[in-house]
């Protein structure tokens, strides 16, 4: 097999990244509390976790409001994911919304932001609060557990590499197109076509998987998000490239026209993808108001798996291109023979 | 040398256009008919964002119509003659500049017709100057991006259909930016909010023009 | 992970969020990940099949000129 070393590496990377992506547990987190609002006095809150192990070690719960912490009087653990926390809520806390924190050694401080409304607002509680609890550490190699995403955060290692692969292949197509204009070898033209075709495959895969993920996260199959517009524009451009190739009959002219359009469209598309999303708000992480994924713990756990997945899938895409390119080369040789 | 060539080419474009006055009339009539159809369709008057959106759709198709002609009105003989006379880079610069002026005139004229038939309340409620700037920049933007596309489509032998297919995805991002800027203008936003969009459009214009300048000689080789 | 997947069936707590017991997004939306992986593998398999067929056609043409 030709060039077996990087193909083998690509498969190894994709396999290991995918296994890690599917097997790594999610960080324990609090996902639900059964009260919508709480006022001064006794409160019994039923808390539901995900990926939590409440029965494993002593668990503590706190309310946090405006920098002041209220510790639970009593915790009743029902099972690994359910507990009831009894609080004696003081009057006069400063803010309208309270956070709920459940902490256990080995599982870290699991905070549910803006868990419920606080009805007895004041200038700061005088009694009934404790100072900030000592932070517990979370152990183990885990993926971040984010609101709305939960397990689907694993898709980061599958959906996003599709787009990176598409961009790599489009760049390869650009290089082929430049060589068409500066040379005239029909092989470069067929190479450009092959690169565009495989890039469209990955573009459609990225689009469909993104749609499925979007339906689960944002409720709809498509939104007016800038990144989605960029994806649609990219696909339309390369489909138009194929249409252009279809309309020109003379092979030399077709090669040149297609190359010119490819270069023109690629640069403008690059401009669009890089410049405009920074200007507008968006649902996607990393643009507009949302914090970038780098803030989303893309550090210890997600990052190595993600990078491996991206590199691996780019290799797989290049392998597919390599096959298509070799086929084109054989077809040209056959036509000349 | 190059500057004088450009000026001559521009004069040539103007002369050609003057001779084919019917084409200009056709463009204006197209826009007027589209606007009048919208006027009949939208009886009660459109709200701000619908008003703006409808206008841009009309202008988009008018732009495709107008710019498709720019490379198709010459036959092979005249093109060969032009080839021997002028450097292709001057040709594309001159043609883009002329198209930009044409689009500027066409867009402002369309805006005028539009306010006559579909009312100018949304415009008066917002910032008319910003909206007009958006329209002007959008028109010039269409010209700078679509000139090269029109040349490619003309060379491929197909008509406005292919040009629309090739041009639409490239024009779409700029259209989105300019529509967003118009919407902001109609809601009375400050210049500070719309300025990034205007600058973005100018950036796209510059990049598109540079690319056309680079790539056109390869197209002209036939 | 198997324990986590089994847990939604074990609890019948009142007011549990829908997504934990809902079939489509049950198991904490793990099914979206499975759907994504399945789609990607299906797409690539389709592409490889297409390529394989073209190569076979060419090989056949070479054998019978």
Q: What is the pLDDT of residues A42-51, one digit of tens each?
A: 888 898 888 8
Chains C, B in contact, 3 or more Cβ pairs below 8 Å: no
Q: Give the residues of chain B that fall short of pLDDT 50.
A: 1
Is it the case that residue A245 has pLDDT exceeding 90? yes
CB contact under 8 A, C47 and A51: no
The answer to whether residue A170 scores a pLDDT higher than 60 is yes
Which residues, at least 6 apart from C52, have a Cβ–Cβ distance to it below 8 Å?
A: none
- Please name the residue that has the structure tokens 């709809």: A220
Query: Which residues of B fall within a CB distance of 8 Å from A178?
Result: none
Confidence (pLDDT) at C19: 53
> Chain A residue closest to B216 (CA)?
A260
Please indicate whether, in this complex, the C-beta atoms of C54 and A201 are within 8 angstroms of each other. Answer: no
CA distance C21 to A281: 33
Nearest to C39 among A205, A320, A334 (CB): A205
Q: How far apart are CA A293 and CA A61, in angstroms?
A: 28
In degrees rounded to 5, what are phi and psi of residue B193? -80, -35
Closest chain C C-alpha to A137 CA, distance in angstroms: 22
Average pLDDT over residues A252-270: 92
Provide DSSP, A109-159. EEEEEEEEEESS--S--SSS-BPPPPPPPB-SS-B---TTTGGGGGGGGTH
* Residue A331 with chain C: CB contacts under 8 Å: 58
A331 CA to chain B: closest CA distance, Å?
Answer: 24
Task: State the average pLDDT for chain C.
Answer: 68
The predicted pLDDT at position C12 comes to: 36
Of C3, C33, C51, the CB nearest to A323: C51
Please compute the mean of the pLDDT values over residues A197-215 and round it to a whole number.
92
Q: CB distance C29–A205 less than 8 Å?
A: no
pTM given for the model: 0.84
**Cα B59 off chain centre by:** 8
Confirm or reject contact between B219 and chain A (CB < 8 A): yes
Of A58-72, A213-227, A241-255, least confident by mean pLDDT is A213-227
Residue A309, both tokens: 């997945």
- Tell me what pLDDT residue B74 has: 66
**ipTM value of the model?**
0.88
Alpha-carbon gap, residue B54 to B34, rounded angstroms: 10
Question: How sure is the predictor about A188, in pLDDT bands with cuts at 50, 70 and 90?
Answer: very high
Structure tokens at A297: 């713990």
Question: Which residues on chain C are in Cβ contact (under 8 Å) with A309?
Answer: none
Tokens of A118: 């606080």
State the Cα–Cα distance between residues A196 and A262, nearest whole angstrom. 9
Cβ–Cβ below 8 Å for C58 and A331: yes
Number of residues that this document lists for chain B:
222
């Amino acid at each position: 097999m030709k060039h077996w070393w990087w193909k083998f590496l690509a498969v190894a990377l994709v396999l290991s990244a995918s296994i890690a992506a599917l097997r790594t547990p999610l960080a324990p987190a609090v996902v639900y509390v059964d009260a919508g609002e709480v006022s001064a006095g006794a409160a019994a809150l039923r808390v539901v976790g995900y990926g939590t192990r409440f029965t494993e070690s002593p668990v503590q719960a706190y309310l946090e409001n405006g920098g002041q912490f209220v510790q639970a009087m009593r915790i009743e653990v029902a099972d690994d994911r359910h507990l009831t926390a009894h609080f004696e809520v003081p009057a006069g806390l400063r803010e309208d919304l309270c956070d709920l924190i459940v902490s256990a050694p080995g599982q870290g401080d699991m905070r549910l932001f803006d868990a419920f409304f606080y009805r007895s607002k004041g200038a700061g509680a005088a009694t009934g609060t404790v100072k900030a609890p000592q932070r517990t550490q979370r152990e183990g190699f885990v993926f971040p557990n984010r609101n709305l995403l939960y397990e689907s955060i694993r898709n980061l290692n599958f959906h996003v590499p599709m787009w990176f692969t598409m961009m790599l292949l489009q760049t390869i197509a650009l290089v082929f197109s430049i060589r068409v204009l500066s040379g005239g070898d029909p092989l470069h033209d067929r190479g450009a076509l092959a690169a565009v075709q495989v890039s469209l495959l990955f573009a459609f895969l990225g689009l469909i998987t993104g749609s499925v993920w979007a339906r689960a996260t944002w409720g709809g199959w498509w939104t007016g998000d800038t990144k989605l517009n960029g994806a649609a524009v990219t696909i339309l451009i390369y489909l138009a490239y194929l249409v252009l190739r279809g309309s020109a009959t003379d092979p030399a002219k077709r090669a040149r026209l297609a190359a010119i359009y490819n270069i023109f469209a690629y640069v403008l598309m690059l401009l669009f993808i890089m410049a405009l999303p920074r200007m507008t708000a968006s649902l996607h992480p990393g643009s507009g108001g949302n914090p970038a994924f780098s803030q989303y713990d893309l550090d210890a756990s997600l990052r190595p798996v993600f990078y491996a997945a991206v590199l691996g899938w780019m290799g797989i895409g290049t392998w597919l291109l390599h096959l298509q390119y070799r086929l084109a080369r054989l077809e040209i040789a056959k036509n000349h023979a | 040398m190059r500057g004088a060539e450009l000026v001559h080419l521009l004069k040539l474009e103007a002369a050609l256009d003057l001779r084919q006055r019917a084409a200009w009339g056709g463009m204006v009539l197209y826009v007027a008919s589209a606007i009048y159809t919208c006027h009949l369709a939208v009886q009660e008057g459109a709200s701000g964002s619908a008003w703006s959106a409808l206008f841009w759709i009309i202008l988009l198709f008018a732009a495709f119509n107008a710019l498709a002609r720019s490379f198709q009105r010459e036959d092979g003989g005249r093109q060969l003659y032009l080839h021997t006379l002028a450097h292709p880079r001057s040709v594309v610069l001159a043609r883009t500049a002329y198209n930009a002026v044409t689009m500027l005139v066409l867009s402002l004229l369309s805006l005028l017709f539009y306010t006559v038939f579909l009312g100018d309340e949304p415009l008066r409620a917002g910032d008319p100057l910003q909206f007009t700037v958006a329209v002007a920049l959008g028109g010039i933007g269409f010209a700078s991006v679509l000139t090269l596309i029109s040349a490619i489509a003309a060379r491929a032998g197909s008509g406005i259909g292919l040009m629309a297919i090739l041009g639409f995805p490239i024009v779409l991002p700029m259209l989105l930016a300019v529509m967003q800027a118009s919407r902001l203008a109609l809601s009375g936003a400050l210049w500070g909010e719309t300025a990034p969009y205007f600058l973005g459009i100018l950036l796209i214009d510059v990049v598109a023009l540079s690319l056309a300048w680079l790539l056109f000689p390869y197209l002209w080789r036939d | 992970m198997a324990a986590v997947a089994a847990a939604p069936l074990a609890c019948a707590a009142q007011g549990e969020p829908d997504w934990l017991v809902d079939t489509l997004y049950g198991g904490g939306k793990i099914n979206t990940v499975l759907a994504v992986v399945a789609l990607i593998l299906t797409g690539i398999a389709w592409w490889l099949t297409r390529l394989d067929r073209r190569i076979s056609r060419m090989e056949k043409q070479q054998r019978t000129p």
